[in-house]
Chain A
């Protein structure tokens, strides 16, 4: 957005349940679903994913498979509370640290667990999360808890675990466009089935100021931009909107009002030391794909989906 300096540093993180839909897979679908999971990891490698919290559903194909996926991945798998049932050994690192240009970000992962997931046990998530956070809190500027949990456990985590700045939920059901605060923690819920990607922009200047949600200000800025851009369509090159609409009093008033509103909101955001906003991006046909990743997905895509896709294109 013009007027608001935008960061170019983008870090992909996954909060869990990327690989499978359920905590179990039917034997006759096992190979196909595993290939799909492999495609997701390969794609995440291309996308330079930074960290993946291992959700309960990610364990559906068993211990050997998830460890094989971890080896394939060029990014860390984390979980502070997933254990090998046969040895009680914790299987993944409890956290990962990402260094941005000038920030150190800590990501801790927990999952609720499910008795249908074989070969694994899960230690108590509140205790596991707190232990991991305590280990990193002095080394990082912000703590993100990647929580593959239900609503009840989410509430328990925010109430009982100290030191979480953002709780990023998977297994959340629906998208929450305007993130809510719970016990001083900001909850980010992006929904399910990969319908949305959440763009979470964060400005973190000092460790004391409260993190403010500026989503409404960004929405107003975007609205003003869209209106101004729509009016600018088709006008002569080099001409300002004011020059083009010189004889139209109402239109000139509208332009002034939109510009003023935009500036007010930009100034307000700039004055805040710590702020964030969430922009959910619907992953529809307007989003262009990347050839390298398209090839990976095409190779792994199940045959019946290829057929459906072909039929779909024929229908257009």
Chain B
């Protein structure tokens, strides 16, 4: 049961992580030439849930 709940929460966790990434771009706009980062999401499979 615990595992199921934990898995269901993953989507939000991903959201949180990315939101932090996006925020840092706007508040601290320092860039290194020719470098960038992709936050890659794949096969979330419709999982949504609360943060752990």
Contacts and interface: CB of A to CB of B under 8 A. Distances in A.
B22 A13 contact: no
Interface in A81-116: 100-103, 105
A308 interface: yes
Contacts of B46: 18-21, 33, 36-37, 40, 57
Contacts of B39: 10-13, 197-200
Contacts of A285: 6, 13, 51-52
Nearest to B11: A194
A170 to B, nearest CB: 4
Interface in B5-23: 5-22
Contacts of A9: 25, 31, 35-37
B41 A101 contact: no
A309 interface: yes
Interface residues of A, number: 80
Given A308-B8, A309-B5, A312-B5, A202 B22 contact: no
A287 interface: yes
A301 B50 contact: yes
Interface string B22-52: 1011001111111111111111111111111
Interface in A273-310: 281, 283-285, 287-290, 292-294, 297-298, 300-301, 305-306, 308-309
Interface size on B, as a range, is: 35 or more
Contacts of B10: 193-195, 283
Interface string A180-195: 0000000011111111
Contacts of A48: 22
A305 B51 CA distance: 12
Given A12-B22, A168-B42, A202-B38, A297 B50 contact: yes
Interface string A198-210: 1111111100000
Interface of A: 5-21, 33, 36-37, 39-40, 43-44, 46-49, 55, 57, 100-103, 105, 144, 168-172, 188-195, 197-205, 281, 283-285, 287-290, 292-294, 297-298, 300-301, 305-306, 308-309, 311-312, 315
Given A293-B15, A293-B16, 8 more contacts: A20-B46, A190-B43, A200-B37, A204-B34, A308-B4, A309-B8, A309-B49, A309-B50
23 contacts: A7-B31, A7-B37, A9-B35, A10-B24, A10-B38, A17-B44, A33-B46, A43-B15, A46-B15, A168-B42, A190-B42, A194-B41, A194-B47, A197-B18, A198-B40, A201-B36, A283-B13, A284-B6, A289-B12, A293-B12, A294-B12, A306-B50, A312-B2
